Amino acid sequence: MSLRWHILTGEYPPASGGVGDYSAQLAAALTAAGDRVTVWAPGSTLPDRFGRGSRAALDGAFRGDPGIVLLQYVPNALGRRGMNLPFCLWLRARAREGADVRVMFHEPYFYFTAAQPWRNVLAATQRVMARVLLDASTHAYLSTDTWRRYLTPRNGTPLDVLPIPSNILPAPETDERLRGAIAPEEEPIVGHFGTYGDHVEGELLRVLPPTAARCPSARFAFIGRGSVEFLSRLGRRHPEIAALSWASGRIDAGVVSSALRACDVLMQPYPDGITTRRTSVMAGLQHGLPIVTTSGALTEPIWMASRAVALVPVDDAEAFAASVAALIGDRTEARALGRRGAETYERAFRLERSVSVLRGAAAAAP
What strand order describes the sheet that includes 100-105? 36-40, 4-9, 68-73, 100-105, 139-142, 159-161
- Other CB atoms closer than 10 Å to residue 119's CB: what's the count? 14
- Other CB atoms closer than 10 Å to residue 309's CB: what's the count? 27
- Give the start-to-end residue ranges of the domains of the chain: 4-164+351-364, 176-349
Cα 342 to Cα 337: distance, rounded to the nearest angstrom: 9
pLDDT in tens, 146-196: 999 999 988 889 999 999 999 888 877 777 889 999 999 999 999 999 999
Three-state secondary-structure class, residue 342: helix
Calculate helix-pair angle for 227-237, 198-214, nearest 10 degrees. Answer: 60
- Chain-wide mean pLDDT for the chain? 94
Topology of the domain covering 176-349: Rossmann fold (3.40.50)
Instruction: Please list, residue by residue across 160-194, b when 16 or more beta carbons sit within 10 angstroms of its beta carbon and e when fewer do.
Output: bbbbbbbbbebbeeebeebbeebbeeebbbbbbbb
pLDDT in tens, 215-228: 999 999 999 999 99
| pLDDT confidence of residue 192 | 98
| 4-164+351-364 and 176-349, same CATH topology | yes
Query: Residue 365 — pLDDT band, cuts 50, 70, 90?
Result: low
Residue type, position 155, single letter = N
pLDDT in tens, 37-76: 999 999 889 999 999 999 999 999 998 888 999 999 999 9
Residues above pLDDT 70, as percent of the chain: 98
| pLDDT confidence of residue 362 | 64
Residues 12, 287, 217: CA angle, nearest 5 degrees = 115
pLDDT in tens, 102-120: 999 999 998 888 788 888 9
| pLDDT confidence of residue 366 | 55
Helix (H), strand (E), coil (C) string for 109-130: CCCCCCCCHHHHHHHHHHHHHH
Query: Residue 213 — pLDDT band, cuts 50, 70, 90?
Result: very high
Cα 277 to Cα 257: distance, rounded to the nearest angstrom: 19
The architecture (CATH level 2) of 4-164+351-364 comes to: 3-Layer(aba) Sandwich (3.40)
Residue 252 pLDDT greater than 80, yes or no: no
